[in-house]
Amino acid sequence: MTSLDLFSNLDSEPLSSDISQHATLFHQFLAEDDDALLSDIRGVLRHSPLRHIQTPAGHKMSVKSSNCGEYGWLSDSQGYRYQKTDPMTEAPWPEMPSLVRNKAIEAAVLAGFDDFRPDSCLINVYLPGAKMGLHQDKDETDFTKPIVSFSFGLSVNFLWGGFKRSQKYQKFQLQHADALVWGGNDRLRYHGVQQLKDDVHPITGRCRINLTIRQAG
Ligand SMILES: O=C(O)CCC(=O)C(=O)O
Ligand SMILES: [Fe+2]
């Protein structure tokens, strides 16, 4: 192999796996930007801190969450919804960092979704034992827009279901710096996250951080 062959791959498309028809997992997509992205998110959390939110039925979610962007997703006794202000600070949510936005658009385009204008980023932090039950993302106005999901820190099993909660689901692992994009015919699939196992990750420590970037409005 010549040195040219050795480097000819550098600009090629990232390693990816097709999960289903319109769902793609880009492995290590964020590997070069992990520190910058996480430092941007720490900046966001200084203004709108992490908190446990309650489901409409009054159950405390096991993840801690916050938001950035024009719209923040939340839940309380009045239901699931997007809101432009943080109920904790009563101020607008912090701006979505441009690196988060740009990497989300880049992932969406690679997955075949050209016209994605993200205006919302939900930040979910999982400590060991936290999980997210099977659900659909359906509070957005336009289901032709994809969901882009970034993972950092501890690995977790992601559950990928059908269009009814009772349908069978497959499981695959999300690792640090992976990006998952789903839309099109897969946009309303049930999905969730299995309980996080206790471990320590060299970059995030004892947790997993997920960013779910959406076009909500
Ligand atoms: O943590 C994840 O990977 C998924 C989060 C999710 O599905 C959501 O917040 O709607
Ligand atoms: Fe979701």
* Cα 135 to ligand 2 centroid, rounded to whole Å: 6
pLDDT at 9 > cutoff 80 = no
To the question of domain 18-214 being in CATH 3.60.20.10, the answer is: no
Q: Where are the alpha helices (DSSP H) in the chain?
A: 3-7, 34-47, 98-110
* Cα 137 to ligand 1 centroid, rounded to whole Å: 9
Phi-psi region of 129 (alpha: psi -120 to 50; beta: other; left: phi over 0): left
Predicted TM-score of the model (pTM): 0.94
What residue segments make up the domains of the chain, in order of their start? 18-214
pLDDT at 8 > cutoff 90 = no
**Considering just the CA atoms, what is the radius of gyration of the chain in Å?**
17
Residue the block writes with tokens 């990816």: 16
187 is annotated as contributing to ligand binding: no
pLDDT at 39 > cutoff 50 = yes
89 is annotated as contributing to ligand binding: no
133 and 203 in contact (C-beta within 8 Å)? no
Ligand nearest to the backbone CA of 125 = 1
132 and 195 in contact (C-beta within 8 Å)? no
pLDDT at 4 > cutoff 60 = no
Segment 138-184, tens digit of pLDDT = 999 999 999 999 999 999 999 999 999 999 999 999 999 999 999 99
pLDDT at 3 > cutoff 50 = no
Backbone angles phi, psi at 198, to 5 degrees: -70, 125
Segment 63-77, tens digit of pLDDT = 999 999 999 999 999
Residue 13 is classified by DSSP as P
